[in-house]
């Protein structure tokens, strides 16, 4: 407790008082936990032999009512005199598997054991003996725990230093994990929290068989996308095949295969038309001459009888375009 500036005469000093136990405020029926601090008026009201009896009066932080607590030097405790009541925490022994018979506590597991303890005197005596053995074993364990605890806290400063050092290490590790998770979330554009890795996650990851070729090809494609220019590049002008080359390739391909495999919808007109378009900048006579020469050269090769129908179509188309050119 720390002294504050004194108030009016007879009112005592204002000190910082910490609630020593859990209480219920009688003014608002709210719970006030142990450790809550108040500005209280401290005043001596009596003495026990040579020890003064102090009274602390404070206002509830949840309502306008006042709470008074006095010291009890005789019993070495605090006593509530006004404004609050002590919170009594009780429990039912049966809720933790303990029954009470004639003032003796017995550990039990079910209702059948409880009924047998009430009816069978020999079972009750035997069970009491077993409980006594368990209590003795528990006492030894408690003594060992107490001895270990005393050994650890023999030097409170050293124990506190060890605990704080461990806490700082765990705090740094947790912060590093949080930073790594945030970096991964930003990289993958995730909006969910990433949980810590577990042993099950490691086992499941080992069961996955990745295709290395697939990963390499994806990496190459990703590198191309990332390294290419953001500006629209000019598309290279690839040399398109003219009507002449298309007609030559069609006749060569048909000559090397089954002539009866030529579809009925096959038309030389579609192949000859680009010839005219390809030579628009030439004279009409030169176009007609080149077209006739190209067709006659291809049809004059061996096995020309196989392409009689194809020749007729070609000649008719050439004649049509020749007439159009003359006009």
34-50 tens-digit pLDDT? 999 999 999 999 999 99
pLDDT bin (cut points 50, 70, 90) of residue 265 is very low
Q: Which pLDDT score is estimated for 68?
A: 96
Nearest to 40 by CA among 70, 79, 76: 70
Q: Which pLDDT score is estimated for 229?
A: 75
pLDDT greater than 50 at residue 56: yes
67/59 Cα distance (integer angstroms): 6
What is the pLDDT averaged over residues 196-224?
73
Q: Which two tokens stand for residue 87?
A: 């919170």
Burial class (CB in 10 A: 0-12, 13-18, 19+), 109: exposed
- pLDDT one-digit tens code per residue, 70-95: 999 999 999 999 999 998 876 565 55
Q: Which pLDDT score is estimated for 155?
A: 86
Q: Which pLDDT score is estimated for 102?
A: 56
C-alpha distance across the termini of the chain, in Å: 120
Nearest to 98 by CA among 110, 90, 106, 89: 106
Mean pLDDT of the chain: 73
Percentage of the chain modeled with pLDDT above 70: 57
262: left (phi over 0), alpha (psi -120 to 50) or beta: beta
Nearest to 124 by CA among 101, 147, 153: 101
**∠ Cα 318 324 326 (to 5°):** 100
pTM of the model: 0.31
pLDDT greater than 50 at residue 8: yes
SS3 59: strand
User: What kind and span of H or E run contains 23?
Assistant: strand 23-25
Q: Where do we find the tokens 């009924």? A: 115
What is the pLDDT averaged over residues 87-115?
62
What is the pLDDT averaged over residues 91-107?
57
What is the pLDDT averaged over residues 186-208?
82
What is the pLDDT averaged over residues 112-118?
72
- pLDDT one-digit tens code per residue, 226-258: 777 777 655 555 455 555 565 556 555 554 555
261/254 Cα distance (integer angstroms): 8
Q: Which pLDDT score is estimated for 234?
A: 55
Burial class (CB in 10 A: 0-12, 13-18, 19+), 255: middle
pLDDT bin (cut points 50, 70, 90) of residue 261 is very low
Q: Please tell me the total number of residues recorded for the chain in this structure.
A: 327
- pLDDT one-digit tens code per residue, 144-163: 888 888 888 888 888 889 88
**Other Cβ atoms closer than 10 A to 289:** 13
Q: Which pLDDT score is estimated for 141?
A: 79
pLDDT greater than 50 at residue 263: no
pLDDT greater than 90 at residue 2: no
User: What kind and span of H or E run contains 106?
Assistant: strand 104-107
Q: Which pLDDT score is estimated for 112?
A: 73
SS3 325: helix
107/71 Cα distance (integer angstroms): 39
Nearest to 271 by CA among 309, 314, 306: 314
Question: Cβ(53)–Cβ(44) under 8 Å?
Answer: yes
Nearest to 244 by CA among 284, 289, 199: 289
Rg, the chain, Cα only: 51
């Amino acid at each position: 407790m720390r002294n504050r500036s004194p108030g009016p005469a007879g009112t005592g000093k204002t000190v910082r008082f910490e609630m020593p136990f859990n209480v219920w405020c009688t003014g608002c029926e709210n719970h006030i936990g142990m450790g809550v601090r108040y500005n209280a008026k401290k005043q001596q009201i009596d003495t026990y032999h040579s020890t003064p009896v102090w009274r602390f009066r404070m206002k509830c932080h949840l309502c306008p009512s006042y709470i008074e607590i006095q010291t009890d030097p005789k019993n070495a405790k605090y006593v509530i005199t006004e404004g609050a009541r002590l919170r009594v925490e009780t429990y039912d022994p049966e809720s933790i598997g303990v029954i009470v018979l004639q003032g003796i506590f017995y550990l039990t597991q079910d209702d059948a054991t409880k009924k047998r303890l009430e009816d069978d005197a020999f079972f009750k005596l035997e069970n009491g003996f077993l409980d006594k053995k368990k209590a003795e074993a528990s006492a030894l364990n408690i003594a060992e725990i107490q001895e270990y605890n005393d050994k650890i806290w023999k030097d409170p400063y050293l124990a506190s230093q060890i605990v704080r050092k461990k806490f700082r290490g765990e705090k740094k590790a947790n912060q590093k994990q949080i930073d790594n998770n945030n970096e991964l979330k930003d990289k993958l554009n995730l909006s969910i929290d990433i949980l810590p890795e577990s042993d099950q996650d490691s086992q499941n990851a080992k069961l996955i068989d990745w295709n290395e070729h697939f990963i390499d090809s994806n990496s190459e494609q990703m590198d191309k996308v990332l390294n290419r220019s953001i500006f629209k590049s000019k598309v290279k002008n690839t040399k398109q095949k003219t009507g002449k080359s298309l007609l030559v390739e069609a006749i060569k391909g048909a000559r090397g295969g089954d002539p009866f495999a030529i579809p009925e919808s096959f038309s030389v007109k579609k192949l000859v038309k680009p010839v005219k378009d390809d030579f628009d900048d030439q004279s009409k006579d030169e176009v007609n001459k080149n077209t006739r020469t190209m067709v006659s050269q291809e049809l004059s090769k061996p096995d020309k009888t196989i392409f009689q129908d194809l020749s007729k179509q070609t000649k008719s188309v050439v004649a049509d375009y020749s007439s159009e050119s003359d006009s």
